[in-house]
Amino acid sequence: MKLFKIFSVAAILAVSALSSCSDKGYMDEAPLEQGLTFQCATYNETLAPGAAEIVIPVRRTIASGEETVNIKFTPGKNCPTDITVPSQVKFEAGSNTAEIVINISNATPPATYAGTLEFDGTPSYAGISTLTLNCPVNYTWVSLGKGTYYDMFVMRGADDPYPVEILKAEGFERYRAVNPYVEYYNTLGKENYPNSTMSVTSNGPAYVEFWENASGTLSFNSFATGLYYKDSGGNEGAIGAYSWTAFNASAGYTGDDDIWYEPGFAVLAPVYYINGVGGFGQIQYGIQIELP
């Protein structure tokens, strides 16, 4: 997969030679003082899931001789712990450049690897002394074309499933049905959900995401359906379609019916529920998605 790197352009500041007057009446040049700099102040890279390597270039003013420089990494808030940042970087004799190679064992969306790198304990440096690292992890989504989507609970009065674009995460058995409720809510939904006990308050989720587990069963992300419930007893709230994993085991819900009903035809069993109010139970084959 292609990784996208964005480097901000920064000038590398050289340390100028200092001059002083000698008692012999001519100018003596003092030796250059070693300077270190990152090539940019901010490093942004979108990582694909899995093992990853991030390469951070650094430069020095004087190229003569080998030199080992201490590096300090301070992880940002919620930065995953499977990131390995070396504590030193080595410049080879005759080279102005070196690389800090950062390794990540298993990048998993939607994590972001973030923090700051700085030269630790170096007595003198020029240029950019601190670098901010920001590397979110995302899947690369590609369109498979048009599939179909049907929600047994929501799509009242619909005789057929609705066409939707299906995306697939490149290299993974992970899919998205894009804007699956928009067409229904703007047609039959207007008739079937007048402003009464249940009404339409949005077009639903931008996508419904589901994926295949190692066992061959399916999982999906819970989402707001776009329906709102309000009764005469004062009970009200948005209706969500939840995965069984959102509930305690005592609720008795399972993922046994989140499966490939047949190749290319996924069925999910959401629990339709209103937070703080109650629910409508788990519906077998409640959502049916056919791939192109």
Which regions in the chain score pLDDT beneath 70?
1-33, 121-126
Using an 8 Å Cβ cutoff, are 183 and 149 in contact? no
Q: What is the pLDDT of residue 77?
A: 93
Q: What is the pLDDT of residue 126?
A: 61
| pLDDT tens-digit map of 196-234 | 789 999 999 999 999 999 889 999 999 999 999 998 888
Q: What is the pLDDT of residue 250?
A: 87
Q: What is the pLDDT of residue 192?
A: 87
Q: What is the pLDDT of residue 232?
A: 86
| pLDDT tens-digit map of 71-85 | 999 999 999 999 999
CA dist 168 and 175 (Å) reads: 5
Q: What is the pLDDT of residue 267?
A: 98
Q: Which domains does the chain have, with CATH numbers?
A: 4-136 (2.60.40.2030), 141-290 (no CATH)
Closest CA to 141 of 109, 106, 180, 174: 174
Non-local CB neighbours of 248 within 8 Å, separated by 6+ positions = none
Its pTM stands at: 0.73
Count of other CB atoms within 10 angstroms of residue 186:
11
Sheet holding 36-38, edge to edge: 36-38, 50-60, 97-107, 83-84
